[in-house]
Structure 1
Amino acid sequence: MSNKLVRETGLSGALVIGLGSIIGTGAYVSVGLSAEIAGSGIVFAILIAAATALMNGLSSAQLAAAHPVSGGTYEYGYQFLNPLSGRIAGILFVVAKSASAATAALAVAWYISLSISVPFWVVNFIAVGLLLMFTVLVLAGVRRTNWLNSLLVLVSLLGLVTFIAAGFSERDAQEIVVSVSSPLSLFHAAALMFVAFTGYGRIATMGEEIRAPRQNIPKAVIITLAFISAIYISVGLTILHLGGISSFEQSNFNIAHLIADSNWRWVVIIGGVVAMSSVVLNLILGVSRVILAMARRGDLPNRIAVLSSDRKSAPTATWITFVVMSLIATLGGVKTAWTLSAFTVLIYYGITNIAALKVPPAQRFIPKWVSILGLLSCFGLVLLAAIA
């Protein structure tokens, strides 16, 4: 009997999975955070981040086709580079995705606190409580099925479309003039926006499940990134239209805070909470699986690799994931956690591009220049953002 997965996912299915993996903290938090830095240049920052994500997404697709195993660049580093590269990639993944989950939990906590007038000092405790709740759900076997993924995408998009429509319908808004205030601030904002695109990795790892993967995976990556870019640009222009950048940081980049009509605001709040809660659930599962893989290989203590009696969860790895995410959520705010995620994930994908350059010619279907540009863009954004 074959141990290969059935290729039953078409292009449309891959698009839904891609959207479900990307829409979340980026749309509801990162665009506003980046708009505060780049101002009216946010559109250019989003386009730079999207171009960087496209090159990295194609490199990831190349690696997934050549070495179709779970574990991402942690496994690719071992396979195409050396053990040290794999270990570094594994650590970077855990830190980057834990910081993303902490950001999402903090953002949900802020949405809740601003909606029901909870004191600000309890926000971090709410975030840790949310992380604990989702950790327990993961240990109980909760997963995002295809139909649930589609439903979550619809709710998330409804919140964003409502924000855009309500925002542009409000009077006394500001005229939008798209310009670049400072090149360094532009690249700083682009580095933060890049994290908002990184769910494309989920599409890239579908080489064993998708029909005609060499054609459909690149198509799915390109279409998904184009659609998400349009959403992010629309959200960014709405923020500029509402003129909310000056007071944005006080609400921890809560876009719902900018909508005057309370009825529409609640739709945005619900969309944001659903989208970001879904992100937390997915990231707890994803990070715990990489920790499990590292323990099995001996890069972490072997006892971390112990499975539950029904072999459906890895309790120790999952609880370690909770502790790491909670520490980041407790020690920093939304901006700090997201910045940590941005820097570490850019370095992580830099290693991805280096590994993609090592794929043998016979297995290659993405040109080398794509991975070279991806590598330069990742490390270039890290350097320019650090200088800024």
Structure 2
Amino acid sequence: MLGAGIFAGFAPAAGLAGWWLLPALAIAALAALCSAFSTADQSRAYPDIGGGYGYVRAQLGVWPARMTASAHLLGRCAMAAAVAWMFGAYVVPDQPLAGALVLLVGTTLLGAVGFRWSTGVSAAVSVVVLGVLALVVASSFSIAPVPSAGEAGTVNELVGAAALMFMAFAGFERITAPHRGERPHSPGVLKFAIPVLVGLTFAVHLAVGAGVLRQLGSARLALSPAPLRDALVAADASALVPLVQIAAAVAGVAALHFVLASAHRTLTGLVEDGDLPSRLKPAVLSLVLLAACALAVVLMPLATALGVAACATLFYYAFTNASARVLLQNDRTWPMRTACLGLGLSVLLAMSTPVPALLISLAGLGVGTGLIGATASLRGRRAASRRRRQPARTPGRS
């Protein structure tokens, strides 16, 4: 949750809505809160599945699940591209594309050798990033900003900015939908943890967003490839820029690791359910995922990648909230109205993303669903053909 959204997401949001990106954060937080409630309830109802694709398949059927998987994979590839571009913009500003691709390959190799983010490592990463963000906020408010020429964005794009800022909250599934073999949290813990997690994320993003907006103004912020770095320079705190680069590097590796792990889980579910060929082993899936993410980096600049990630992920949570609506009352911790609100907000925000991101997402959703369906149909026909070719057994013979 402390990834591309907080390091780079303010720029495209400011380009849409200017200062209205701060109220937009509240709308995004509400959508994230409802979606987190839905995934937590479904994880409790289906503890052995894990992930929206499996929940939708169990509740709504095969084709909605395939659409859910397509939206999730597209969103994760775009989010990986956004995180990689963020890393390149902060850490290797002279060669951001090279830095982005190096991060992708390096993080994939870390996963391949079995590196796991323990609770201690995750806590250390959070402390480092939050400490640097606190310095950015303090510096931004300690020095009067230079008057900015003109403003960007309008209130008419408030919902579109909320859609982009939704990516600031993506990541709550780490506690609401644990992977197989991980110990799930009890409903009592989640009742406390989900609102606190979303609330703290909202507070951090609100403070950082207000700081960079104050120091840069919406027009300069909208054009900045690295808002936190540029805010420090504007606040005469250039000495702190190396700390921001370290925080961006640490956050980039951590966020990308979880993004790739989430996409890998969906691919594994598709293989296990017969929607993808069974010969696709984990190592092959990792290579396919790496290639898809690298292609996303090459084809989509940072702002487009953030838009596609937001739009596709919101479509994914629209399906997840829709399936949560049909859960039995005994499987619910939160009222059905939260899933209904989450469904409505997800669709509204997704349809309000910038037009290029919306068109790419809709095209990707259609192509991905079609490919998954065609692959599953072909595998089914081949299996039926093999059964027909098997010789009939003669009665009485073993």
Normalising by structure 2, we get a TM-score of: 0.83
Letter in 1 for 2:277: P
Segments ≥4 residues shifted beyond 4 Å: none
Contact 1:174/1:241 (<8 A) preserved: no
Q: Percent identity?
A: 25
Report deviation, 1:179. Answer: 12
1:200 to 161, 166, 172: 172
Return the alpha-carbon distance in structure 2 between the equivalents of residues 279 and 325 of structure 1.
14
Return the alpha-carbon distance in structure 1 between the equivalents of residues 75 and 152 of structure 2.
31
Return the alpha-carbon distance in structure 1 between the equivalents of residues 295 and 39 of structure 2.
30
Note the 1:1-388 alignment, pairs <5 A: 22-114=1-93, 118=94, 122-173=95-146, 181-183=154-156, 185-206=157-178, 209-210=183-184, 213-260=186-233, 261-304=237-280, 306=281, 314-385=282-353
Report deviation, 1:244. Answer: 4.3
* Cα deviations by residue, 1:273-308 (Å, 9 ceiling, x for unpaired): 21122111222222122212212222112221x2xx
* Cα deviations by residue, 1:168-205 (Å, 9 ceiling, x for unpaired): 11233459xx999323x110100001121011111111
Contact 1:111/1:254 (<8 A) preserved: no
Letter in 2 for 1:240: L
* Cα deviations by residue, 1:79-115 (Å, 9 ceiling, x for unpaired): 111011111111211111111111111111111233x
Letter in 1 for 2:102: G
Which residue matches 2:377? none
Which ranges in structure 2 are unaligned for 5 or more consecutive residues?
A: 359-398
Return the alpha-carbon distance in structure 2 between the equivalents of residues 253 and 38 of structure 1.
18
Normalising by structure 1, we get a TM-score of: 0.85
Return the alpha-carbon distance in structure 1 between the equivalents of residues 307 and 342 of structure 2.
20
Contact 1:35/1:42 (<8 A) preserved: yes
Change (3 A) 1:323 1:71: farther
Report deviation, 1:61. Answer: 0.9
Contact 1:41/1:179 (<8 A) preserved: no
Return the alpha-carbon distance in structure 2 between the equivalents of residues 133 and 198 of structure 1.
22
Which ranges in structure 1 are unaligned for 5 or more consecutive residues?
A: 1-21, 307-313
Contact 1:24/1:156 (<8 A) preserved: no
Letter in 1 for 2:34: M
Return the alpha-carbon distance in structure 2 between the equivalents of residues 153 and 70 of structure 1.
28
Return the alpha-carbon distance in structure 2 between the equivalents of residues 23 and 358 of structure 1.
32
Contact 1:285/1:318 (<8 A) preserved: no
